[in-house]
Amino acid sequence: MMSKVLVAYGTTNGSTARIAQTIAEVLRKKGLSTEAVPARAVKNVDSYDAVVVGGGLYGGRWHKDARRFVRRYGRVLAGRPLWLFSSGPLDKSATYKDIPPVSGVRRVMTRLDAREHVTFGGCLEDGAKGFVARKIVSSGKGGDFRDFERIEKWATHVGAELLSVAHTG
């Protein structure tokens, strides 16, 4: 039986969406039926065998759409294989070291028994929405720090876990 996987994400400027879409593409290449959907657009999670939830980090908090998603569907998510990711640091630090989840995401991990969390570098470029985001970009501290090789490697790891569960379960 093929696992059906939801990759839900919260994003403001599209950077986290691109990470979620990359994860979904890797999982599809592994033979898993996968959809990447903005967290706010998800109406039901019952038909999914596993879920990956990601959110951009803003001021030390996960994107509001990701937070609302895990609150709304927490009971169902707690009974499924669940992985979490964050995108945020506007530097190369996420490529070279493991950055622990922010406290709100750590609480979600514990409450929903998530398998794993990873933090990827963020992206904030010209045209970003929001006063603070525009200030960061205009100060020269923006840029694209997403490491797609690392994202694909993590998604491959998630896919391998899902496939081993599907074959043994």
Model confidence pLDDT, tens digit, residues 61-97: 999 999 999 999 999 999 999 999 999 998 999 999 9
Task: Give dist(CA 157, CA 169) in Å, integer.
Answer: 18
pLDDT tens, 7-16?
999 999 899 9
CATH number of the domain within which 108 lies: 3.40.50.360
Residue 169 pLDDT > 70: no
| Cα distance between residue 145 and residue 121, in whole Å | 5
Total structural domains in the chain?
A: 1
Distances (CA, A) of 33 to 25, 80, 150: 10, 16, 22
User: Does residue 165 carry a pLDDT above 80?
Assistant: no
Q: For residues 77 and 49, what is the distance between their CA atoms, to the nearest angstrom? A: 10
Residue 130 is part of which domain span?
4-168
Of residues 58 and 154, which shows the higher confidence score? 154
pTM of the model: 0.94
